[in-house]
Amino acid sequence: MSQETEKPAGAPHDTLFAKIVRREIPADIVYQDELVTAFRDIHPQAPVHVLIVTNEIIPTADDVEPRHEAALGRLFTVARRVAAQEGLGSGYRLIVNCKEHAHQEVFHLHMHLLGGRPLGPLLVRPA
């Protein structure tokens, strides 16, 4: 779902997303402020697929600390803003993956915003 597979390293390291935040590599950025950056996924899984990343490198949800609360809240308010500007009034899905079992591919905290069509169930219920 994301753009490049990276492996976690104990301390924050440079990531593909950090390079996008710093505008060192091209991306279709739809929103940016001092806390978060939102850009279109290069391998969209829905008609609208935007990644919203923290500007600070936080490798996984397990690495979140109280000092990150403002950026985490901003992920959600920006998701709402981008969903509205993309015309997703019928609904959208937000996904945050954490580590390998959840298939986190880039170890820089990010939220997927998907919409533009009925998305169906995220998980299939066991029979």
Q: pLDDT digit string (tens) for 84-111?
A: 999 999 999 999 999 999 999 999 999 9
Task: List domains and CATH numbers for the chain.
Answer: 16-112 (3.30.428.10)
Q: List pLDDT tens digits, range 30-85.
A: 999 999 999 999 999 999 999 999 999 999 999 999 999 999 999 999 999 999 99
pLDDT, mean of residues 1-13: 47
**Of 2-6, 24-28, 58-62, which gets the smallest average pLDDT?**
2-6
Counting Cβ atoms within 10 Å, is residue 89 exposed (0-12), middle (13-18) or buried (19+)? exposed
pLDDT at 12: 55
**Given pLDDT bands bounded at 50, 70 and 90, which one contains residue 126?**
confident
pLDDT at 2: 41
pLDDT at 3: 42
Name the CA dihedral angle for 56, 57, 60, 66, rounded to a multiple of 10 degrees.
-40
Q: Which residues are catalytic?
A: 110
Query: What pTM does this model have?
Result: 0.87
With a CB cutoff of 8 Å and minimum separation 6, the contacts of 45 are: 1, 112, 114
Please tell me whether residue 48 adopts helix, strand or coil conformation: strand
